[in-house]
Amino acid sequence: MPINHYLFLSLALFSIGVAGVLARRNALIVFMCIELMLNAVNLLLVAFSRMHNAAAVALDPASTVGAEAQILVFFIMVVAAAEVTVGLAIIVMMYRNIHSVDINFLNRLKH
């Protein structure tokens, strides 16, 4: 497949995530949309890794060009897992205090 198909696929997924963050009020769904955006970026990184690797392996079969991008995707997943635990703990605490997951109630933070 040409690289621009993957480019447009991850752009579409990222934009769906942005639209979801802006259009929904449930904090859990906003959080899930952020996960979707992270995954769109991961998909694009893997596609670029494959693009560079295919070009390098054609010259040298033992080449490891492009492996850095996959390591980066691995670290993004690690950080996302840590982020989800803290974020869900914050949402649970918010639900315990205001009995709702509506992000519009969070404007109470300012007073």
Residues 27 to 46: which contact another protein by CB under 8 A?
A: 28-29, 31-33, 35-36, 39, 42-43, 46
**Contact status: 86 vs another protein (CB under 8 A):** yes
**Contact status: 7 vs another protein (CB under 8 A):** yes
In the numeric block, which tokens belong to residue 44?
């694009």
In the complex, the smallest distance separating the C-beta of residue 107 from another protein, rounded to whole angstroms, is 13
**Contact status: 109 vs another protein (CB under 8 A):** no
In the complex, the smallest distance separating the C-beta of residue 24 from another protein, rounded to whole angstroms, is 7
- Of the residues 16, 34, 41, 110, which one makes contact with another protein according to CB under 8 A: 16
| Number of chain positions touching another protein (CB under 8 A) | 81
**Contact status: 106 vs another protein (CB under 8 A):** no
CA-CA-CA-CA torsion sign (28, 29, 30, 36):
positive
Phi, psi of 26 (to 5 degrees): -75, 120
Q: What is the DSSP track for 3-54?
A: HHHHHHHHHHHHHHHHHHHHH--BHHHHHHHHHHHHHHHHHHHHHHHHHHHH
Q: How many residues does the chain have?
A: 111
